[in-house]
A and B are shown apart, each in its own frame.
Chain A
Amino acid sequence: DQQVKQNSPSLSVQEGRISILNCDYTNSMFDYFLWYKKYPAEGPTFLISISSIKDKNEDGRFTVFLNKSAKHLSLHIVPSQPGDSAVYFCADTVSSNTGKLIFGQGTTLQVKP
Protein backbone atom coordinates (compact mmCIF):
# COMPACT_ATOMS: atom_id res chain seq x y z
CA ASP A 1 0.00 0.00 0.00
CA GLN A 2 1.44 3.33 -1.08
CA GLN A 3 1.79 5.77 1.83
CA VAL A 4 3.31 9.15 2.53
CA LYS A 5 3.94 10.31 6.10
CA GLN A 6 4.88 13.64 7.59
CA ASN A 7 5.66 12.94 11.21
CA SER A 8 6.02 16.55 12.36
CA PRO A 9 2.67 18.34 12.53
CA SER A 10 4.30 21.70 13.11
CA LEU A 11 7.58 23.57 12.86
CA SER A 12 8.56 27.03 14.08
CA VAL A 13 11.67 28.88 12.85
CA GLN A 14 13.07 32.36 13.03
CA GLU A 15 13.03 34.60 9.97
CA GLY A 16 16.26 34.24 7.98
CA ARG A 17 17.03 30.76 9.28
CA ILE A 18 16.63 27.47 7.47
CA SER A 19 13.36 25.53 7.54
CA ILE A 20 13.57 21.78 6.99
CA LEU A 21 10.41 19.82 6.41
CA ASN A 22 10.53 16.03 6.24
CA CYS A 23 8.53 13.30 4.60
CA ASP A 24 8.77 9.50 4.43
CA TYR A 25 7.21 7.28 1.81
CA THR A 26 6.58 3.59 1.22
CA ASN A 27 6.17 1.55 -1.93
CA SER A 28 6.51 4.34 -4.44
CA MET A 29 5.19 3.07 -7.74
CA PHE A 30 5.96 6.01 -9.93
CA ASP A 31 8.78 8.50 -9.94
CA TYR A 32 7.76 12.02 -8.97
CA PHE A 33 7.64 13.50 -5.50
CA LEU A 34 6.23 16.92 -4.84
CA TRP A 35 5.68 19.61 -2.26
CA TYR A 36 2.54 21.70 -2.10
CA LYS A 37 1.93 24.77 0.01
CA LYS A 38 -1.43 25.80 1.43
CA TYR A 39 -2.54 29.06 2.99
CA PRO A 40 -5.79 29.23 4.99
CA ALA A 41 -8.91 29.66 2.86
CA GLU A 42 -6.94 28.86 -0.30
CA GLY A 43 -6.34 25.69 -2.26
CA PRO A 44 -2.91 24.04 -2.23
CA THR A 45 -0.41 25.32 -4.77
CA PHE A 46 2.40 23.37 -6.34
CA LEU A 47 5.80 24.38 -4.98
CA ILE A 48 8.52 22.08 -6.24
CA SER A 49 8.99 18.52 -7.45
CA ILE A 50 11.74 15.97 -7.92
CA SER A 51 12.10 12.99 -10.18
CA SER A 52 13.34 9.75 -8.64
CA ILE A 53 16.31 9.77 -11.01
CA LYS A 54 17.61 12.82 -9.15
CA ASP A 55 18.61 13.39 -5.55
CA LYS A 56 18.27 17.16 -5.48
CA ASN A 57 16.22 19.86 -7.16
CA GLU A 58 16.56 23.56 -6.46
CA ASP A 59 14.28 26.49 -7.23
CA GLY A 60 15.31 29.77 -5.66
CA ARG A 61 15.04 29.53 -1.89
CA PHE A 62 13.50 26.06 -2.09
CA THR A 63 15.47 22.82 -2.41
CA VAL A 64 14.07 19.31 -2.30
CA PHE A 65 16.28 16.36 -1.44
CA LEU A 66 15.45 12.74 -2.17
CA ASN A 67 17.10 9.83 -0.36
CA LYS A 68 15.80 6.73 -2.13
CA SER A 69 17.58 4.21 0.09
CA ALA A 70 15.93 5.73 3.17
CA LYS A 71 12.67 6.49 1.31
CA HIS A 72 12.92 10.00 2.65
CA LEU A 73 12.14 13.39 1.15
CA SER A 74 12.96 16.79 2.60
CA LEU A 75 12.26 20.41 1.71
CA HIS A 76 14.74 23.11 2.66
CA ILE A 77 13.74 26.76 2.67
CA VAL A 78 16.64 29.20 2.94
CA PRO A 79 16.28 31.90 4.11
CA SER A 80 12.85 31.49 5.65
CA GLN A 81 10.47 34.45 5.41
CA PRO A 82 7.26 35.22 7.34
CA GLY A 83 5.31 34.79 4.08
CA ASP A 84 6.41 31.16 4.02
CA SER A 85 4.16 30.46 7.01
CA ALA A 86 1.68 27.90 5.67
CA VAL A 87 0.86 24.20 5.67
CA TYR A 88 3.22 22.14 3.54
CA PHE A 89 2.17 18.80 2.05
CA CYS A 90 4.46 16.30 0.44
CA ALA A 91 2.97 14.05 -2.23
CA ASP A 92 3.81 11.03 -4.35
CA THR A 93 2.50 10.30 -7.81
CA VAL A 94 0.81 6.98 -8.53
CA SER A 95 1.40 6.66 -12.26
CA SER A 96 1.95 8.74 -15.35
CA ASN A 97 -1.58 8.00 -16.58
CA THR A 98 -3.61 9.34 -13.69
CA GLY A 99 -3.85 12.64 -11.86
CA LYS A 100 -3.94 10.90 -8.50
CA LEU A 101 -1.53 11.95 -5.75
CA ILE A 102 -0.90 10.39 -2.36
CA PHE A 103 -0.49 13.20 0.18
CA GLY A 104 1.08 13.34 3.60
CA GLN A 105 -0.78 14.78 6.58
CA GLY A 106 0.88 18.16 6.29
CA THR A 107 3.30 20.21 8.40
CA THR A 108 2.37 23.69 9.59
CA LEU A 109 5.35 26.02 9.28
CA GLN A 110 5.47 29.23 11.27
CA VAL A 111 8.22 31.69 10.47
CA LYS A 112 8.61 34.28 13.21
CA PRO A 113 9.81 37.81 12.36
Chain B
Amino acid sequence: KAGVTQTPRYLIKTRGQQVTLSCSPISGHRSVSWYQQTPGQGLQFLFEYFSETQRNKGNFPGRFSGRQFSNSRSEMNVSTLELGDSALYLCASSLALPFTGELFFGEGSRLTVL
Protein backbone atom coordinates (compact mmCIF):
# COMPACT_ATOMS: atom_id res chain seq x y z
CA LYS B 1 0.00 0.00 0.00
CA ALA B 2 1.58 3.27 -1.09
CA GLY B 3 2.16 5.88 1.57
CA VAL B 4 1.47 9.60 1.48
CA THR B 5 3.29 11.17 -1.45
CA GLN B 6 4.35 14.81 -1.53
CA THR B 7 5.79 16.73 -4.45
CA PRO B 8 8.11 18.44 -4.92
CA ARG B 9 10.48 17.31 -2.17
CA TYR B 10 12.67 20.40 -2.38
CA LEU B 11 12.18 23.80 -3.90
CA ILE B 12 13.76 27.23 -3.79
CA LYS B 13 11.79 30.40 -4.36
CA THR B 14 12.41 34.10 -3.97
CA ARG B 15 10.42 36.59 -1.93
CA GLY B 16 7.18 37.66 -3.54
CA GLN B 17 6.77 34.50 -5.60
CA GLN B 18 4.08 31.92 -5.03
CA VAL B 19 4.34 28.17 -4.60
CA THR B 20 2.03 25.17 -4.93
CA LEU B 21 2.67 21.93 -3.09
CA SER B 22 0.93 18.67 -3.85
CA CYS B 23 -0.10 15.73 -1.69
CA SER B 24 -1.53 12.33 -2.57
CA PRO B 25 -2.96 10.58 0.48
CA ILE B 26 -3.05 6.88 1.17
CA SER B 27 -5.71 5.20 -0.93
CA GLY B 28 -9.05 5.31 0.88
CA HIS B 29 -8.07 8.13 3.23
CA ARG B 30 -10.43 11.04 2.83
CA SER B 31 -8.96 13.43 5.37
CA VAL B 32 -5.85 15.38 4.42
CA SER B 33 -4.18 17.88 6.72
CA TRP B 34 -1.16 20.13 6.30
CA TYR B 35 1.46 21.15 8.86
CA GLN B 36 4.38 23.54 8.83
CA GLN B 37 7.55 22.55 10.65
CA THR B 38 10.16 25.13 11.57
CA PRO B 39 13.08 24.80 14.01
CA GLY B 40 11.93 25.29 17.59
CA GLN B 41 8.26 25.59 16.65
CA GLY B 42 7.29 21.99 16.25
CA LEU B 43 4.51 21.23 13.83
CA GLN B 44 2.00 23.99 13.29
CA PHE B 45 -1.40 23.04 11.89
CA LEU B 46 -2.31 24.79 8.64
CA PHE B 47 -5.60 23.26 7.55
CA GLU B 48 -7.54 20.05 7.07
CA TYR B 49 -9.71 18.92 4.19
CA PHE B 50 -12.32 16.20 4.16
CA SER B 51 -14.40 15.32 1.11
CA GLU B 52 -13.23 18.47 -0.71
CA THR B 53 -14.30 20.74 2.17
CA GLN B 54 -12.03 22.62 4.53
CA ARG B 55 -12.93 21.27 7.93
CA ASN B 56 -10.44 23.17 10.05
CA LYS B 57 -7.99 26.02 9.68
CA GLY B 58 -4.98 27.06 11.74
CA ASN B 59 -3.71 30.52 12.60
CA PHE B 60 -1.93 31.37 9.38
CA PRO B 61 -2.44 34.42 7.16
CA GLY B 62 -4.65 34.30 4.11
CA ARG B 63 -1.59 33.88 1.90
CA PHE B 64 -1.78 30.22 2.83
CA SER B 65 -4.58 28.37 1.10
CA GLY B 66 -5.43 24.87 0.06
CA ARG B 67 -7.89 22.66 -1.68
CA GLN B 68 -8.84 19.04 -2.07
CA PHE B 69 -9.95 17.27 -5.19
CA SER B 70 -12.56 14.57 -5.64
CA ASN B 71 -9.86 11.87 -5.61
CA SER B 72 -8.76 13.18 -2.16
CA ARG B 73 -5.49 14.59 -3.52
CA SER B 74 -4.72 17.97 -2.01
CA GLU B 75 -2.71 21.05 -2.86
CA MET B 76 -1.60 23.95 -0.75
CA ASN B 77 -0.58 27.34 -2.09
CA VAL B 78 1.45 30.10 -0.53
CA SER B 79 1.34 33.44 -2.27
CA THR B 80 3.65 36.44 -1.89
CA LEU B 81 6.33 34.37 -0.22
CA GLU B 82 8.25 35.79 2.73
CA LEU B 83 11.59 34.68 4.16
CA GLY B 84 9.78 33.31 7.21
CA ASP B 85 7.85 30.87 5.05
CA SER B 86 10.99 28.77 4.70
CA ALA B 87 10.02 25.50 6.34
CA LEU B 88 9.22 21.85 5.89
CA TYR B 89 5.60 21.45 4.82
CA LEU B 90 4.11 18.14 5.80
CA CYS B 91 0.95 16.54 4.53
CA ALA B 92 -0.84 13.84 6.48
CA SER B 93 -3.83 11.64 5.82
CA SER B 94 -6.12 9.71 8.10
CA LEU B 95 -8.88 7.18 7.75
CA ALA B 96 -10.61 6.42 10.97
CA LEU B 97 -13.55 8.23 12.42
CA PRO B 98 -13.85 8.85 15.25
CA PHE B 99 -10.34 10.25 14.96
CA THR B 100 -8.03 8.89 17.65
CA GLY B 101 -4.89 10.70 16.63
CA GLU B 102 -3.09 8.50 14.13
CA LEU B 103 -1.95 10.45 11.11
CA PHE B 104 0.13 9.12 8.24
CA PHE B 105 2.66 11.71 7.11
CA GLY B 106 4.47 12.17 3.86
CA GLU B 107 8.17 12.99 3.74
CA GLY B 108 7.44 16.67 3.31
CA SER B 109 8.27 19.46 0.89
CA ARG B 110 11.27 21.54 1.95
CA LEU B 111 10.70 25.15 0.88
CA THR B 112 13.52 27.68 0.96
CA VAL B 113 12.67 31.33 0.33
CA LEU B 114 15.57 33.58 -0.65
Contacts and interface: CB of A to CB of B under 8 A. Distances in A.
Is this pair of chains taken from one and the same complex?
Answer: yes
Interface in B14-57: 31-33, 35, 40-45, 48, 50, 55-56
B66 interface: no
A41 B106 CA distance: 10
Interface string A82-113: 00000001010111111111111110000000
Contacts of A101: 43, 45, 101, 103
B100 interface: yes
Contacts of A42: 107
Contact of B42 (A32, A41, A95, A106): A106
A100 B56 contact: yes
Nearest to B105: A43
B102 A100 contact: no
A4 B2 CA distance: 31
A97 B40 contact: no
B74 to A, nearest CB: 12
Interface range for B: 20 to 34
A99 B90 contact: no
B110 to A, nearest CB: 9
A101 B33 CA distance: 10
Contacts, number: 83
A13 B105 CA distance: 27
B48 A100 contact: yes
Contacts of B41: 105
Contacts of B104: 46
A41 to B, nearest CB: 7
A34 B101 contact: yes
A8 to B, nearest CB: 13
A27 to B, nearest CB: 16
A110 B99 CA distance: 31
Interface of B: 4, 31-33, 35, 40-45, 48, 50, 55-56, 58, 90, 92-94, 97-108
